[in-house]
Structure 1
Amino acid sequence: MTGQPEPVTRRMKRLVDPIHLVAYESHEPTEALEALGLRHNYWDGYFAGRAAPLGLAPAEVVHAVFYNFAEGEVARHIPRVWDVTTPEAALAARERGCAAALRRRLGDLADHPCVGRAAELLVRAAAGAPTESRPLFAGLRSLPVPEEPVARLWHGATLLREYRGDCHNLALAVAGIGGTESHVLRALADGAPPLADGRVSHLPAEKLAAVLDGLRARGLVDADDRFTDAGRALRERIEQLTDDLDAPAYAHLEPADLDELITALEPLATALTNHRH
């Protein structure tokens, strides 16, 4: 794809992700969720906050929706967290913590008119995207939209980030790539040792060895744990299908509105990228 323009969906991903990711990269959301009585281990708050739009769904359902966690990881937190708090309380705490994190990291930009305009257009984009086969996005879209501009910005970015996430999971499933395999392939794409990837390095060595053996058997990874041509081609097909499935979220925006959204998001994404954690 060298020389071809960047798809709108990938550009939007780069602009939306820094806003959504304060949920995982900042202390305020974690502390707000722990204040509900959750264990101080990060992952209780992660699963309570992210799974809350699904209501009291059992671990098996959350595992299926999240797609890329190893067997048993979700069950260490779901339904345990719902013995301590409720999905409604977790949603409120997460939103409150994420808005506080955005305000801190954006500084004076948090009160700039671009925040309100970007929030409005993000929510409008999400309102026109299909919910079919996008379960986490569907759960999020059933929630009330915050009125406060910074909270609304985070909510809108999260809607579109999880929409793309659902689309990516569909693309992975079509390609026959499971959740643990997807992390190994991502590590390879980033040029990192696959067994050192933080999302899988804690798993038993025999489990990871079996994953790599499976990828080698399919001709996707060579004996030196590097992408083969077939592996690179498959990864690009997955990304292209993700882009294709993601496109309806922006297709119904007028070109001028999409341009305005990109313009409004660029300084926000830059500020957040430059001010990590």
Structure 2
Amino acid sequence: MSHSQAEVHRMFELLEPIATVTYSEVPNEAFLALGMRNYWDGYFAGRAAPLGLAPAEVVHAVFYNFADGEVARHIPWVWGKITPREAIAVRERGSATALRQRIGELAESPGLVRAADLAARAALSAPTEGRALYAGLRALDVPEEPVARLWHAATLLREHRGDGHNAVLLTHGIGGTEAHVLLALSLGMRAEEFGRIHHLPQAQLAAVVDGLRDRGLVDAAGGFTDAGRETKQRIEALTDELAAPPYDVLTADELDELAARLEPIAAAAQAADD
């Protein structure tokens, strides 16, 4: 059945703090212990592992929003220290441990088991066409342990949404760095203040902003124009629309139940992150 855009977006908000424990200290330390040089080695090893030994060019294309050359600083170097299969296992163990630490006694609750089952049913139900990273993840075994299963399902749904988001960006002619600039502006930040792109050479970042200005999306002061704001809103709305299919397998009551059971888990995970 179909669910409203608001309901689909709410699922994104609830699953995001669960999936992104992957990028926290516990998994990072596990990757460093296996020879990774820094956080980004572990990031690329863990996230790209479902793609196998894909070259940097392929990982760059699938991830979409990294600046030129960033992926190549880590892929394929990391595969000299760890295999994709090992990276998948390290990522799952570290993420489940991190989530368990963040949510405390909720990790042992019947509500989490039910949330994991519902989320996994949704996460495994979507078509894979055009969704390379989601397809790679869906080919993996689903963990039996409930906390790990919930994290895995949240990650599947996050990457399914991400694959769709990249398609929407491409359709609107928005490149990866441009997407980060638009996100920064939507958060009330200047491009050079945003963590994912502030490290880029000033001239390179200025050229990206100038390009958005030439297209009428950014004004002279470096903020959104009305057209830029409308484009950003349209991209987000279409992203939610493309993220909806996994939830069609759930009834309205089941989706409501999933949201209710995720709320305390997501709140606890977010509170620990904050």
TM range (shorter): over 0.9
Q: In structure 2, what is the equivalent of residue 33 of structure 1?
A: 31
* Aligned with 1:144 (options 141, 144, 168): 141
Question: Residues of 1 paired with 2:122 and 2:5: CA distance?
Answer: 19
- The answer for the alignment partner of 1:110 in structure 2 is 107
Cα deviation, 1:115-148, whole Å, max 9, x if unaligned, reads 1111111111011111111110000000000011
1:174 corresponds to which letter in structure 2?
Answer: T
TM-score (norm 2): 0.97
Q: Distance in 2 between matches of 1:72 and 1:211?
A: 16
* One-letter amino acid of the structure 2 residue matched with residue 273 of structure 1: Q
User: 2 CA distance for matches of 1:243 and 1:99?
Assistant: 27
Report the alpha carbon displacement of residue 166 of structure 1 after superposing the two structures with TM.
Answer: 0.6
**Which runs of 5 or more residues in structure 2 are unaligned?**
none
Alignment of 1:144-163 (within 5 A): 144-163=141-160
Deviation of 1:244 (Å): 1.0
User: Quick one: distance in 1 between partners of 2:26 and 2:193?
Assistant: 28
Q: Are 1:247 and 2:244 matched, yes or no?
A: yes
How far off its partner does 1:252 sit? 2.0
C-alpha displacement of 1:6: 6.1
The code of the aligned residue for 2:168 comes to: A
The percent of aligned pairs where both chains have the same amino acid is 63
Alpha-carbon distance between aligned partners in 2 of 1:187 and 1:96, rounded to the nearest angstrom: 32
The separation in 2 between residues aligned to 1:33 and 1:115, in whole angstroms, is 27
Out of 181, 198, 203, the residue aligned to residue 200 of structure 2 is 203
TM-score normalized with structure 1 length: 0.96
* Alignment check: 8 A CA contact 1:32 1:96 kept: no
1:21 is paired with a residue whose SS is helix
Contact 2:217 2:225 in 1 (8 A): yes
Distance in 2 (alpha carbons) for counterparts of 1:151 and 1:219: 45
Match of 2:264 in 1: 267
Asked if structure 1 preserves the Cα contact closer than 8 Å seen for 2:46 and 2:87, the reply is yes
Deviation string 1:191-242 (CA, Å, 9 cap, x unpaired) is: 0111111111111111111101100000000000010000011111101110
Report the secondary structure of 2:16's partner residue.
Answer: helix
Structure showing greater relative contact order (alpha-carbon pairs closer than 8 Å, 6 or more residues apart): 2
Q: Which ranges of structure 1 fall in alignment gaps of 5 or more residues?
A: none
SS at match of 1:183: helix
Conservation of the 8 A alpha-carbon contact between 1:22 and 1:101: yes
RMSD of aligned alpha carbons: 1.1
Runs of 4+ displaced beyond 3 Å: none
After superposition, the C-alpha distances for 1:237-263 in whole angstroms (9 at most, x for unaligned) are: 101110111111112211121111111
Whether the 8 Å contact between 2:131 and 2:163 is mirrored in structure 1 is: yes
Cα pair 1:29 1:97 within 8 Å, conserved: yes
Query: Where do 1:1-277 residues align within 5 Å?
Result: 7-24=6-23, 26-39=24-37, 41-276=38-273
